[in-house]
Amino acid sequence: MSKQKQLQVSAIENGTVIDHIPAASLFDVISILGLDHISNLITFGTNLDSHKFDKKAIIKVADKFFERDEINKISLVAPHAKLNIIRDYEVVEKRDVTIPDEVIGIVKCFNPKCVTNNESIITRFKVEDKIDLALKCHYCEKNTTRDELQMM
């Protein structure tokens, strides 16, 4: 990974850098992680050139270290995201995201007749297929696939 690209947005002393986010998913990632509701210093860049995607986005959150369960939530929209844990300007750890076995409260069930789309209910899915992505609704038992994926 080239350090130069990370420096397109300013470096942080301590915190987490989330790299290789598809540009189109940037705001989903921000909302899934609740970054729009915290007071930490956050910088992000988007539509950066990428080898993996057409355009990628990167987010740097100062003084924030994510729990594994928390960060895995973004795997649905940014399956190739890479985390760099920064301490004293140095990358001390790199992490991948993995798709969890259960997805709670992030994704909307695609089925308009599902009870979760008609009353205020926290959605719950079992991940039945991690490669093609199939989320089985705990309530209506229908599968939501990647094409139908919509965030709450």
Q: Which residues sit at the interface with other proteins, rule CB under 8 A? A: 109, 111, 113-116, 118-121, 137-143
Task: Locate 80 and state its tokens.
Answer: 């190739």
Burial annotation 122-133 (CB, 10 A radius, 16+ → b, else e): ebbbebeeeeeb
Q: Which is nearer to other proteins, 38 or 115 (CB)?
A: 115
- Which residues are CB-contacts of 89 (< 8 A; sequence separation ≥ 6)? 11, 12, 13
Q: Which is nearer to other proteins, 78 or 137 (CB)?
A: 137
- 57, 21 Cβ separation under 8 angstroms: yes
- Closest contact distance (angstroms) between CB of 126 and other proteins is 12
- 94, 74 Cβ separation under 8 angstroms: no
